[in-house]
Amino acid sequence: MIKKIFSKSVLACTLVLSINSLSAQTSKSVAQTSLKSSLLKGEILYKAHCLTCHQADGYGVPNMNPPLVKTNYVSGDKKKLIAWVLKGSGTTKLSINGKTFQNKMPPQQNLKDDEVADVLTYVRNSFGNKGTRITTEDVKAFRAANK
């Protein structure tokens, strides 16, 4: 009798641990799939909205449009990067990593929150950059705080 109860307890514990492990693996898999999806959508958006100025290789145009390759403003503060996309650069002369660029970045307010998140996640993980993901919630929060 005790053996049966013990066997059932072990079986129940094993089942609970298996379910918890499967749940953790599923969450990780969903996050990875979500990141991949964001990067793919972000690449399409980059080609449609950013490529002309920042170029296919992310190096921009010397003295005109800044590079996205391994720059502090790309890998730095998410809020500043979101602000640049939604509000534009706000000036015609811009200094980045010790170099001056003449063209003003126009605001991209027409992009939806998920589009801003996807394109910035793409930029932060392309051109030699390794940045954290920008989420739709990050963009929504920024818009709400900056009405």
Per-residue pLDDT tens digits for 38-81: 999 999 999 999 999 999 999 999 999 999 998 888 999 999 99
Q: How far is C-alpha 108 from the geometric centre of its chain's CA atoms?
A: 16
Domains and CATH numbers, the chain: 32-145 (1.10.760.10)
| 36 or 26, which is more confident | 36
The total of other beta-carbon atoms located within 10 Å of residue 66's CB is: 26
pTM for the model: 0.78
Tens digit of each residue's pLDDT (9 = 90 or more) over 90-131? 777 878 888 888 988 899 999 999 999 999 999 999 999 999
* Lookup: tokens for 10: 């072990």
Is it the case that residue 15 has pLDDT exceeding 50? no
For the CA atoms of 130, 123, 55, 141, what is the dihedral angle to 10 degrees? -150
